[in-house]
Amino acid sequence: MYKFSFIIPVYNAEKSIKKCVKSIQNQTYGNIEIVCVNDGSSDKSLTILSELQKQDNRIKIINQKNSGAFQARKAGILASTGDYIMFADSDRSEERRVGKECRSRWS
């Protein structure tokens, strides 16, 4: 079974990151990892991510100084172990079937 890596650059997203991560956790396709790259947030984003990680071992957290979304995505790619990479924005929720739909189209 193929593995999907969802990469989320996170910068000061304390108001939305939990909803974003939960939407990925609830995917109908289960073989996923969630790579969250904290890009120097000065709010509670990292604390929220750490709490979510304690509840789900599919979550990886990378903490880096603020380098921008491109460098955060690059760091996420380098840390990912999936067969396919998908990007998510920390202020958006993903459809529940996105992984499953992509998998069925690519097989």
Name the region of 34 (left: φ>0; alpha: ψ -120 to 50; beta: rest): beta
Q: Tell me, what's the pLDDT at 92?
A: 76
More confident residue, 28 or 62: 62
CB atoms within 10 A of CB 12: 17
Q: How far is CA 51 from each of CA 23, 80, 99, 103, 105, rounded to the nearest angstrom?
A: 16, 20, 24, 29, 34
Which pLDDT value is given to residue 52? 98
**In this structure, are strands 84-87 and 59-64 parallel, antiparallel, or unpaired?**
unpaired
Evaluate if residue 49 carries a pLDDT over 80.
yes
When pLDDT is cut at 50, 70 and 90, the band that residue 27 belongs to is: confident
Strands (E), 11-102: 32-39, 59-64, 84-87
Report pTM. Answer: 0.88
At residue 64, φ and ψ (nearest 5 deg) are -140, 160
pLDDT given at position 99 = 52
